[in-house]
Homo-oligomer: A and B are copies of this chain.
Amino acid sequence: MLSLAGGTPSPVYFPFDNLKADALVCDSFSTTARTQNKGALSWLWDLFSNTQVSTTPISIPKYAENPNEIDLAVSLQYGLARGIPQLQKFVQEFSRKVYKPPYDNFATLLHTGNTVGWMKAVTTFCNPGEGVLTSEWTYPSAIATMAPCGIRAVPVSMDGQGMSSNALREVLAEPHPILRPHVMYCVPVGQNPTGATMQMQRKKEIYDICVEFDIIIVEDDPYYFLQEGPYILPYQRASALKESEPGDEEYLRSLAPSFLAFDYQGRVVRLDTFSKTIAPGSRLGWFTCNPLFAERLERQSETSTQAPCGFGQSLVTKLLLDWKFTGYLRWLKGLGVEYRRRRDFFIDCIVETFHIELAPPSQNMFHGSEMYLASAFIPSSVPDKCIKTHLFSFVPPTSGMFVWLKLHFDSHPKVGELGHKTLEMKLWVELAEAGLLVGPGSMFSANPSGASPSDPGHFRISFSYAEFKDLRKAVEILDRVLKKFYRDL
Give the interface of A toward B (CB within 8 A): 1-24, 28-29, 50, 53, 55, 72, 75-79, 112-113, 115-116, 119, 123, 128, 141, 144-145, 148, 192, 275-276, 278-284, 299-300, 302-313, 315-316, 319, 331, 335, 338, 401-402, 432, 435-439, 460-466, 470-471, 473-474, 477
Most B C-beta atoms less than 10 A away, residue of A7, A8, A13, A21: A7
Q: With A13-B338, A303-B144, A303-B145 known to touch, is A461 a contact of B77 (CB < 8 Å)?
A: no
In the bound complex, residues from chain B placing their C-beta under 8 Å from that of A128 are 128
A4 touches B303 (CB 8 A): no
Known: A4-B438, A13-B338, A282-B311. 19 other contacts (CB 8 A): A2-B466, A4-B437, A4-B474, A8-B280, A9-B279, A9-B465, A10-B466, A15-B23, A15-B24, A16-B279, A17-B23, A76-B281, A112-B112, A116-B304, A279-B310, A282-B310, A283-B305, A309-B309, A310-B312
Nearest CB in chain B to that of A78: its residue: B280
Q: With A1-B435, A10-B465 known to touch, is A20 a contact of B19 (CB < 8 Å)?
A: yes
* Copy total for this chain: 2
Partner of A302, one of B112, B141, B316, B464: B141
Partner of A303, one of B11, B115, B439: B115
Most B C-beta atoms less than 10 A away, residue of A2, A14, A474: A2
Partner of A24, one of B16, B22, B112: B16
Most B C-beta atoms less than 10 A away, residue of A8, A304, A306: A304
CA distance A6 to B280 in the complex (A): 12
A282 to chain B, nearest CB (A): 7
CA distance A20 to B58 in the complex (A): 10
Partner of A304, one of B28, B76, B78, B115: B115
CA distance A6 to B281 in the complex (A): 15
Partner of A312, one of B311, B436, B439: B311
B9 touches A473 (CB 8 A): no
In the bound complex, residues from chain B placing their C-beta under 8 Å from that of A437 are 1-5
CA distance A437 to B281 in the complex (A): 37
Partner of A309, one of B8, B282, B466: B282
A115 touches B305 (CB 8 A): yes
Q: With A4-B462, A116-B304 known to touch, is A76 a contact of B280 (CB < 8 Å)?
A: yes
